[in-house]
A and B are shown apart, each in its own frame.
Chain A
Amino acid sequence: MALLEVAELDVNYGPLAAVRGLSLELEESQVAVILGTNGAGKTTTLNAISGAVRARSGTVSFDGRNVTNSAPWKISRSGLGHVPEGRRIVGPLTVEENLLVGAYNVRSRGRRSELIDDVFDTFPMLAEKRDELGGLLSGGQQQMLALGRALMAEPRALLMDEPSMGLAPIMVQHVMDAVQTIAARGIAVLMVEQNATAAFRVATEVYLIEHGEVILHGPVDQVQNSELVRRSFLGI
């Protein structure tokens, strides 16, 4: 059975159906990418999985347990991390404190400092800014911090909403490498990404959604050849 299973998910904003009958599955160590134009319902899907918006119907199960419409904090504690759209760094906390709250449910002080060291290894730029307030970082630095913060919780699956947004090309590569590394450690990754070229380097599965529905789904090498994906997302 898959680690994360979404079945027939429906989400509405008032009268608007933002997600319709969406299903997806994610195994350990798997990296899946969701593609879609603006307004397709990508962010809404991730938010529904982590409990931040209510699903009207359908189920989300994580690790064999039904977590549909549970409180976000409960879902997060069960091991599902989420890097939100637009970074959402806590401005008045320092970089280090931002990372520490990421590890809110890691009780051991020692473990927390190990995790911080790992993040600083991955993003040395954050180590330099350790005592700077999160709100004062540059856009890209904040994106790194958001990623690092999610890793601090030692998640078993990670939702990432456009992780490459605002990152310089060299950093995009770096982040995708990092994704590959964590997936190799057994973590499942579901990412929404507009930079399909970069995402396809590390992803195994692709979901293309439109108007809240999955219109195309398959392994990367197959989907890559689809006319729709080539035209809209790869520009080939």
Chain B
Amino acid sequence: MISWLAYYDDVIGHMFVLMILAFSMYVVMRVGVFSVASIGFWAIAGYGAAIADQYDVPPLLIVGGALLVSGVFGLLLALLAVRLSGLSLTMVTIAFVLLLQVIVLNWEDVTGGSLGIFGLPVHIGTYGLLAVVIVVAVLLALYERGRTGRAQDSLLHDEQLAQSVGIDIRRQRIVALTLSALLGGLAGCLNVFQTGMMVSNEVGFHVVVDALTMVILGGTAAWYGPVIGAAILAWLPQMLSFADEWRLAVQGVIIVVVLVFAPQGAAGLIQRLARGVAAKRRSSLLKRREPQDVSA
């Protein structure tokens, strides 16, 4: 067990980083905002951290800076984008990510262009990352319990209803977008700290797709959705290494199969099962109702 853990240390560490990225996507998706700006902040913070690291800035200062920058930019983006709804927002944020990619590739002196920045010190290990994931997950789980969770549900499914029960949808969205930016930045920074590099592969459409895949496979029904999604995405390539050049194909098939059987993702499936239990309890109640009970 110990040797297994040590052996797959980097996969496990990467999985934790992905979980934070998935959380970042999740907090906006949860309130019906289909933004993929997380990837943008992941990239901005990642390059920021890598560049600062080259100048031996203390790691904690880098994290602080990454959070500050993504928070501020996140807020600005949120104020700009909050009036867009649904897929328009998705498109704008995809364009934001792709634009960043063009910048990264062309601004070679700073970003290392298509190559990237390599050979940075590794600042955080698997246990450190685990601790961060636990803290974020607990905070999210607490945050979405009760009142806030219900508000998120109403934002996700019916804006007008949300407004009619006193929810300021604009404010909620700005909060969610900013929070998402913070988490995206944190994830990007930790990614560099864990791997010791930042490369242009980490920004672009396929990262958007990967991140979406995590959130959709895991589901947006509850905080454990992204945890499951990130775990799947981190381990699939490992488990499928036997398939050689067909690996991506096999991975594709697995994703399709999972989605066909659980279109709401793993978390949705879990909730559905719980719901099935609730329904069973109810039907026994109904049968016991006497006729005069109803017509009274």
Q: Which residues of A are in contact with B by a Cβ distance under 8 Å?
A: 14-16, 37-40, 210-211, 228, 231-232
Residues of A within 8 A of B280 (CB): 14-15
Secondary structure at the B interface, as helix, strand, loop or mixed, is: helix
* Docked CA distance A16–B284 (Å): 8
B251 to chain A minimum Cβ distance, whole angstroms, is 35
Secondary structure at the A interface, as helix, strand, loop or mixed, is: loop
Asked whether, in the complex, the Cβ of B295 is within 8 Å of the Cβ of A14, the reply is no
Given contacts A14-B279, A210-B295, A231-B295, 17 further A-B contacts (CB under 8 A): A14-B276, A15-B279, A15-B280, A15-B283, A15-B284, A16-B282, A37-B294, A37-B295, A38-B294, A39-B294, A40-B294, A210-B291, A210-B294, A211-B289, A211-B291, A228-B295, A232-B295
Q: Enumerate the 5 nearest inter-chain pairs by beta-carbon distance, A residue then B residue, closest first.
A: A16-B283, A15-B283, A37-B294, A232-B295, A14-B279
Number of interface residues of B (CB under 8 A): 11
Residues of A within 8 A of B2 (CB): none
Residues of B within 8 A of A210 (CB): 291, 294-295
B200 to chain A minimum Cβ distance, whole angstroms, is 42
Residues of B within 8 A of A228 (CB): 295
**Interface membership of chain B positions 258-295, coded 1 if the CB is closer than 8 angstroms to chain A and 0 otherwise:** 00000000000000000010011011101001010011
Residues of A within 8 A of B286 (CB): 16
* Docked CA distance A183–B283 (Å): 39
12 contacts between A and B (CB under 8 A): A14-B276, A14-B279, A14-B280, A14-B283, A15-B279, A15-B280, A15-B284, A16-B286, A37-B294, A37-B295, A231-B295, A232-B295
Residue among B284, B289, B291 with the most chain A CB within 10 A? B291
Complex: chain A residue closest to B281, CB-CB:
A15
* Docked CA distance A14–B280 (Å): 8
B86 to chain A minimum Cβ distance, whole angstroms, is 14
B124 to chain A minimum Cβ distance, whole angstroms, is 48
Residues of B within 8 A of A37 (CB): 294-295
* Docked CA distance A24–B17 (Å): 63
Residues of A within 8 A of B295 (CB): 37, 210, 228, 231-232
Residues of A within 8 A of B283 (CB): 14-16
